[in-house]
A and B are shown apart, each in its own frame.
Chain A
Amino acid sequence: MIGGLFIYNHKGEVLISRVYRDDIGRNAVDAFRVNVIHARQQVRSPVTNIARTSFFHVKRSNIWLAAVTKQNVNAAMVFEFLYKMCDVMTAYFGKISEENIKNNFVLIYELLDEILDFGYPQNSETGALKTFITQTGIKSQSKEEQSQITSQVTGQIGWRREGIKYRRNELFLDVLESVNLLMSPQGQVLSAHVSGRVVMKSYLSGMPECKFGMNDKIVIDKQGKGGGNGCQSIAIDDCTFHQCVRLSKFDAERSISFIPPDGECELMRYRTTKDIILPFRVIPLVREVGRTKLEVKVVIKSNFKPSLLAQKIEVRIPTPLNTSGVQVICMKGKAKYKASENAIVWKIKRMAGMKESQISAEIELLPTNDKKKWARPPISMNFEVPFAPSGLKVRYLKVFEPKLNYSDHDVIKWVRYIGRSGIYETRC
């Protein structure tokens, strides 16, 4: 299991050091600093073995978090734990930065004591932790309160406490998708997939039993009718759920039922690869005119309903390292050559569906005697569209709370779809 946990700043000074196992000595702290943080080369692996001690690290801005062990631990678990630890810290004090960590070191030690016991991760749901790790001094809890805390921390529904009350029962569903594309210069789709998340923010009283439904092909086909109501179904390659969802029920009936944590949670993640709506198509044309000049023309076409508007469109056209000057002409938006990033960045605020726009640039090159050819990195794109590129639709989210007297109809529900670009690249 995890033998120790260290947090360093970018200089390699240790900010937090908590040792759980006897086989980890103080020298481990230095070993990681010398061999990883101060290493000359770029880090080649997130797992490093130094003198039979294994170090797992993740980096958040310029803070290093390292877990140390001498045993054959579950590596996936260690990384999941480190991410979780970052989530918990963010939930408590915001951004993970040197200043915040120094400001909250007592709190961090208290958290580390609670969520990692002898190197075994324990309940790390922020909702539960916030009930008893507060840092606002001791609250004299009554006996009932105390046992409520402990039963929540260890209980079957560790993510929600009893007795939550809201005057207005309300819930928000966000379907957030990122669409990824790799396209060849000729316009052939090399790979494309959507990874989506359903984020739920709920303000519901009591212990509400929820059931979520979407246009999952398997479910629609099972119901048999399909098609008649005009609802297109989609094939989901794979999905994973928040720990509140009853997985055995999903496995057996493919129904998604759960008691949600209070506030925000990521209910589900999914991935689709079939019938993806690619919101934009990029058509590049790069011509080398002699050894000192490049001509680049890029056309982008939007491919969705004309009534919808895409936002925050950004096209990034890489330029060679020996670029000396760039002239750009674009029909829409603004384009600029950014020498520090070696790219032409073209920004368009809004663009409706079924439109087309174009940019052309002349790139002057300094002559070099470098034999190696320019690697021609792909042209990448960023955007945001108000629909789900996978075609996913929320069909229902039913709420039942048998003990309190509000029904499904009394709950106010909001649904929103946002499609963003993930890694959206076209080779040129």
Chain B
Amino acid sequence: MEWANQLCENRQFGSKMTDSKYFTTTKKGEIFELKAELNSDKKEKKKEAVKKVIASMTVGKDVSALFPDVVNCMQTDNLELKKLVYLYLMNYAKSQPDMAIMAVNTFVKDCEDANPLIRALAVRTMGCIRVDKITEYLCEPLRKCLKDEDPYVRKTAAVCVAKLHDINAQLVEDQGFLDTLKDLISDSNPMVVANAVAALSEIAESHPNSNLLDLNPQSINKLLTALNECTEWGQIFILDCLANYTPRDDRESQSICERVTPRLSHANSAVVLSAVKVLMKFMEMLPKDLDYYSTLLKKLAPPLVTLLSAEPELQYVALRNINLIVQKRPEILKHEMKVFFVKYNDPIYVKLEKLDIMIRLASQANIAQVLAELKEYATEVDVDFVRKAVRAIGRCAIKVEQSAERCVSTLLDLIQTKVNYVVQEAIVVIKDIFRKYPNKYESVIATLCENLDSLDEPEARAAMIWIVGEYAERIDNADELLESFLEGFHDESTQVQLQLLTAIVKLFLKKPTETQELVQQVLSLATQDSDNPDLRDRGYIYWRLLSTDPVAAKEVVLAEKPLISEETDLIEPTLLEELICHIGTLASVYHKPPSAFVEGSRGVMHKRLPARTGSGESTESPDVGTAAGGSAPEAAPSIIPSQGDLLGDLLNLDMAPPTTSGPPPPTTGMQMGGMDLLGGGLDSLMGDESEPLGGDIGGSPAMGAGFGAAPAVMPASLNAPVGGGLGDLFDLGGVGMPMGAYIPPKIVWLPAMKAKGLEISGTFARRAGVIQMELILTNKAMSVMTDFAIQFNRNSFGLAPAGPLQVLTPLGPNQTIEVSLPLSTVGPVMKMDPLNNLQVAVKNNIDVFYFSCQYPISMLFVEDGKMERQVFLATWKDIPNDNESQFQIKDCHLNSDAASSKLQGSNIFTIAKRTVEGQDMLYMSIKLSNGIWVLAELRVQAGNSNYTISLKCRAPEVSQCVFQCYEAVLKN
């Protein structure tokens, strides 16, 4: 058979064309020549010229000067030429808005053309022209196209609504396009349905609270029918949309699952993964004893395995997702270990992911095979891969007790190879093995000590020091070994310094006679010569402990350590739930919530898995909105707070044993309000933003669970008394629709007089958990301003720009630009007066300017600031009365419910309400971004427009600012 026939034909076809010549014209005066050619009478010449223009455009040359000439070529019956002109228009219309109007007429005319291909082309291109003046003219043609008789035009128009919405959302709403779009979901043509679903889903994402995608059993049924008939891409749009739906009960859930499962055999991996997402989500609602449940579990495994025979890039996406699925439901793939064995030719990114999954699947049944494989991998070439393989051996030892002995001997073999990075990695994992099986494998210490000199990585050095300190009594020359590290104390990383301090204290407690000098030395190094607060604090604690009560010191420092658990680096359960809802998407590839990498309001909405409910019961829909999602932390019973603790333990316990057996000194501050303003701030900084500090030792228990800015992270103490919390959470859902956060009006911060013509006005806002500084820059000078940059002085809450100031285009005279600058709270801290004062420096090509402004403290109120009732009570009693301050708010005419819902918009959460003699008492909690809690009692008397408010906080300095916020929020 001649399979290659067609290929040859195509080659000939290709060689006839010689468009590449357009890429090579780089003469001077080129634009001029092109202009002449564009205005030529000959059609062929015109077309050639447009091609040249497009080629120049592609390689990044500016050909915008030719705008009028190119647009003149638009009126043509040559479809190819028309498409080229449209392509040009899409690129340059924005820079030439006035001229772009010239094109409107042609668009309007083309939308009436007899040929549906031309009608669709016009409507498709129209939407890509982002010029405000034009958009209005396009509404009528679009409206017609949405009702066109030809499905090809309708499906194109559906997408065009999304485009228009991106340019001018208000216009789309006013013109009623959203309703027309909704109608298209019932269209007879499956592709129109699919595109309408895609467009609606996208629009709905930027309006998290709207009921745009009104999914109900009828519309779901329509989607499921279209699913069978539309293109592979359409199936993906529909499945991704289905995943946002929450079925009413387990029966509906099962029937949807039944209709989705056939998609698992689709050749397109994305269809398969999206189907897996729907099934994983809806499966949550099925009772586990149901036969169908186990059938479904069995059906999921083969398609997941098949994904591994796709191209490597898709394999990578699949593996990242399988990693999540294995953590959520290990039973699905437990028998499929072999398919994750690494192939010699796999790209490195596939290898690393496979290895990760292998460890997760390792069990007593397959451990022999896994170990043999891992040993094989440890001899490969790629350093990262080898390291991970070595680490994996250690993890196997911890996970499967029966294999521990073999793992240890394998590790010893590897240490004998003397390959530097293998040895270091092996020592790090052996330390964990010691933690898991104390007093079992200490015989290997001698071998480890032989390699002391070759360790140059902090983690390995710290691990080795820990081992020496922990087993000081069995190592004859422990003091010499530790002393040798002490020489370069200040050059070591913090991790090593902390570890060395602890190890020497341990040594001293074990052999006090010979090591007194050593301990003196390290304590003075840590407390006097170091500017690292963690190190200093720990040094002082030890010092005092040792000097006041050596017996107690011994009990604390040498206390028995809790065992480490077997699973490390599990994804925190709430995050895992969210990621399961994002299977197939970038979030699942990065293992981060969308809010961590998507700008603006899109994707900030947190998705959750549905709760299990029987028929008849109703479930809270997961997409009700941000505020509700944020304020009702994890009612689902499947989340076990203790696991977070364990995780925290694992990450810092094993590196800092003494601090964990007693109450850990550096962490006490963060739990409730902080001892003082700055201390509290610093500690919670570490808890909330653990990523950059992840390797450090002195962190807080929440550190392990922390994940960038993941809002799911709660201090461990909050999760502890969950007891009756469930009920509370739900009855509060009825408080009312939360309104948006209060945003003060913009005021001028920097008058043009003072800044050589640059005027800056602005305000602050908190949008979907992100603090933003919204600036308007106006150039009132004669010359162009460029190179803008911004910097903050140290301030009370560590506010700092989270990114550069995005002023991309130069600011011309009399031009104004609106910029919003996301802020983080991880900057350096210094107490300011007033507390909410912020000093800002703005630089441009002319000079540097300074101004100061005050931000409403309400933008620091975080979304998880809702306290448990019991905790609230206890805390209220616990805070001394001296810290209470009372204020009056005058002339406020809201009733207590309205006030409460208004306040909730700014993350001031009502915990409880009590009515005594016609007076409503609202109890509220607020959490600041640095972990300080503020408790409030608001008294509202019917018929009296004056409110009384009492604030209690461990850092009373903030009360005044908080009161100002109450006033601002309630009166606006």
Contacts and interface: CB of A to CB of B under 8 A. Distances in A.
A54 B230 CA distance: 28
B631 interface: no
A241 B588 contact: no
12 contacts: A47-B589, A58-B313, A74-B270, A74-B273, A74-B585, A94-B7, A122-B233, A141-B115, A201-B1, A238-B302, A263-B6, A425-B344
Contact of B1 (A107, A172, A375): A172
A323 interface: no
B365 interface: no
A106 B341 CA distance: 45
A314 to B, nearest CB: 15
A158 B861 CA distance: 53
B262 A195 contact: no
A247 B19 contact: no
Contact of B262 (A82, A95, A251, A266): A251
A363 to B, nearest CB: 19
B586 A73 contact: yes
Contact of B228 (A43, A54, A248, A372): A248
B55 interface: yes
A135 interface: yes
Contacts of B588: 75
Given A79-B314, A80-B269, A238-B302, A423 B343 contact: yes
Contacts of A58: 311, 313
A73 B585 contact: yes
Interface in B190-223: 190-192, 195, 198, 202
B859 interface: no
Contacts of B551: none
B924 interface: no
A247 B262 contact: yes
A406 interface: no
Contacts of A124: 231, 233
B198 A75 contact: no
B87 interface: yes
A80 B266 contact: no
A74 B274 contact: yes
Interface stretch (B154-162, B517-525, B845-853): B154-162
B interface, over-half SS: helix
B152 A375 contact: no
Interface string B243-275: 000000000000000010111011111101110
Interface string B64-103: 0000000000000111100110110001000000000000
A71 interface: yes
Contacts of A54: 586, 597
Contacts of B311: 58, 79, 83
A282 to B, nearest CB: 15
Interface string A145-182: 01101110111101000000000000010000000001
Contacts of B83: 109-110, 113
Interface stretch (B376-384, B400-408, B529-537, B718-726): B376-384
B60 A76 contact: no
A417 interface: no
A71 B598 contact: yes
B270 A70 contact: no
- By Cβ-Cβ distance, the 9 closest A-B pairs, closest first, are A238-B302, A102-B20, A150-B152, A76-B270, A93-B14, A251-B262, A77-B270, A247-B262, A72-B594
A76 B417 contact: no
Contacts of B418: 371
Interface of B: 1, 3, 6-7, 10-11, 13-15, 17-20, 22-23, 51, 54-55, 58-60, 77-80, 83-84, 86-87, 91, 114-117, 120, 124, 127-128, 130, 150-153, 155-156, 159-160, 162-163, 166, 189-192, 195, 198, 202, 228-233, 236-237, 240, 259, 261-263, 265-270, 272-274, 302-303, 305-306, 309, 311-314, 316-318, 338-339, 341, 343-345, 348-349, 369, 372-373, 376, 379-381, 417-419, 582, 584-590, 594, 597-599, 602-603, 808
A35 to B, nearest CB: 16
Contact of A378 (B262, B344, B602): B344
Contact of B10 (A91, A109, A151, A193): A91
Interface residues of A, number: 119
A324 to B, nearest CB: 21
A135 B80 contact: yes
Given A72-B598, A154-B189, A269 B267 contact: yes
A394 B150 CA distance: 41
B801 to A, nearest CB: 14
Nearest to A91: B10
B13 A93 contact: yes
Interface in A217-259: 237-243, 246-248, 250-251
B848 to A, nearest CB: 25
Nearest to B50: A106
B334 to A, nearest CB: 16
Contacts of A94: 7, 10-11, 13-14
Contacts of A238: 265, 302-303, 305-306
A271 interface: yes
Contacts of A52: 597-599
B290 to A, nearest CB: 19
Interface of A: 1, 13-17, 19-23, 25-26, 29, 42-47, 49, 52, 54, 56-58, 69-77, 79-83, 90-95, 99-100, 102-107, 109-110, 113, 117-118, 120-125, 132, 135, 137-138, 141, 143, 146-147, 149-151, 153-156, 158, 172, 182, 184, 190-191, 193, 195, 201, 237-243, 246-248, 250-251, 263-264, 266, 269, 271, 371-373, 375-378, 380, 414, 416, 423, 425, 427
Given A76-B273, A80-B269, A94-B14, 16 more contacts: A26-B60, A76-B274, A76-B314, A103-B14, A103-B17, A105-B19, A105-B58, A120-B198, A122-B231, A123-B191, A147-B116, A154-B152, A156-B230, A247-B263, A371-B419, A372-B419
A43 B261 CA distance: 36
Contacts of A184: 372
Contacts of B162: 118
Given A46-B349, A71-B603, A137 B80 contact: yes
A72 B582 CA distance: 9
Name the residue in A46, A99, A154 with the highest tally of chain B Cβ atoms < 10 Å from its Cβ.
A154
B614 to A, nearest CB: 27
Nearest to B587: A72
Contacts of B582: 72
A31 to B, nearest CB: 13
B592 to A, nearest CB: 10
Contacts of A81: 233
B80 A240 contact: no
A243 B261 contact: no
A304 to B, nearest CB: 23
Contact of B58 (A17, A93, A113): A17
Contacts of A147: 116, 150
A90 B13 CA distance: 12
B265 A239 contact: yes
Given A71-B602, A93-B13, A190-B341, A241 B87 contact: no
A75 B60 contact: no
B159 A117 contact: yes
A318 to B, nearest CB: 10
Given A14-B59, A54-B597, A150-B116, A243 B231 contact: yes
A269 to B, nearest CB: 6
Contacts of A269: 267, 306, 309
Contacts of A80: 232, 268-270, 314
Given A45-B349, A94-B7, A251-B261, A75 B586 contact: yes
A54 B586 CA distance: 8
B202 A1 contact: yes
A269 B349 CA distance: 25
A102 B349 contact: no
A79 B58 contact: no
Contacts of B309: 195, 269, 271
